[in-house]
Amino acid sequence: MIDQEVLDSQIKADRFPFPSKGDIREHTIRTTTTITTEHVDLISSKPFEKTVKDLTAELGKASTEKLMDRLSASDSWDAYAAECADFAGRSNLIEVGYLNWGKVLTLSGKAMKARCYIVGNPLTAQKLLAAGGPAVGLYLPTKLFVFEDADGAVHVSYDKFVPIMAPLGIPDLDKVARAIDGVLEKLATAAIAAESPK
């Protein structure tokens, strides 16, 4: 049974809490766009930890705080671009963080191996934003997900940029997105590739 008093209080709490002329919803413009993407899922030839090690070996490393601090301290784009280039790894990408979802689930009682890597490069972001405008910033940085499934197979997965950017219909943006997809493919392939015989 619904408690009418609780329901009434929730309805009142749902109103915009700050003073305004009329209801804020009268002035809100909302658009909804359906974006399709291509999800790439590769199976590694190696165990989870080795796949993770080989993935991170391709990446540079710098926290978002460090990148933004350097941006604030830079007096020119060229100076900042040079610093970002120094942070990038062999893949030209920088790991700005990772989320150990496997540890989260393992701590809660269900063993899992899964890590989500947040990767990007301000130099690439600048090209995407310049070509596509500020709305593109929602998709930066991007992610790669490494996980072991119930059968013990190790996956490296990511979403392609080209289908996400295509609805904007901007050829220059599509060109940058294709280049990023190529970098992501090389990175994921390096992570899953079998080791060369010695």
Contacts for 158 with CB less than 8 Å, ≥ 6 apart: 39, 40, 142, 143, 144, 145, 184, 188
DSSP 39-97: EEEEE-SS-HHHHHHHHHHT-EE--HHHHHHHHHH-SSHHHHHHHHHHH--TTS-EEEE
What pLDDT is attached to residue 12? 47
CA distance 183 to 180: 5
Looking at residues 108-133, what average pLDDT do you find?
96
What pLDDT is attached to residue 35? 85
Contacts for 156 with CB less than 8 Å, ≥ 6 apart: 41, 42, 44, 51, 55, 144, 145, 146, 188, 191, 192
Q: What is the pLDDT of residues 123-163, one digit of tens each?
A: 999 999 999 999 999 999 999 999 999 999 999 999 999 99
**152 Rama class: left (phi>0) / alpha (psi -120 to 50) / beta:** left
What pLDDT is attached to residue 22? 54
pLDDT at 20 over 70: no
pTM listed for this prediction:
0.81
Instruction: Provide Rg for the chain, Cα atoms.
Output: 22
Name the percent of the chain lying above pLDDT 90: 77
What pLDDT is attached to residue 196? 61
144 sits in which H/E element:
strand 142-148
pLDDT at 36 over 60: yes
Whole-number average pLDDT of the chain: 88
**Helix (H/G/I), strand (E/B), else coil: 181:** helix
